[in-house]
Amino acid sequence: AQSVSQHNHHVILSEAASLELGCNYSYGGTVNLFWYVQYPGQHLQLLLKYFSGDPLVKGIKGFEAEFIKSKFSFNLRKPSVQWSDTAEYFCAVSRRTGFQKLVFGTGTRLLVSP
């Protein structure tokens, strides 16, 4: 069965600090990888996704993630966070073909202090 592990449940950073959120997945096949974000009071929205090709993907708001196949990892990074990045971040995986339900990690709550 697929599973996703997010290592950090709560992260507190000051503005301008660099961010890296860990994500590892377990699945015996080809997958699509995602990071979703939920800002306070808002819907879950897609931050970035990886299907194939360049393992370094760039998303909205300056976020990027790197797929490392040998490590089954898809870590999220941002060089300099802003107060507005305060949110909950979810790593997710789906099968490349067939039923494409998302399997999520437990989420990481990020608090950025001004």
Taking alpha carbons only, the member of 56, 55, 37, 57 closest to residue 46 is 37
Binding mask 27-66 for other proteins (x = CB under 8 A): -----x---x-----xxxxx--x-x---------------
Please select the residue that binds other proteins; options are 94, 108, 110, 112, rule is CB under 8 A. 94
Residue placing its CB nearer to other proteins in the complex, 47 or 81: 47
Pairing state of beta strands 31-38 and 87-95? antiparallel
Q: How far apart (Å, rounded) are the C-alpha atoms in residues 77 and 9?
A: 16
- Return the residue of 53, 69, 97, 114 that touches other proteins, per CB under 8 A: 97
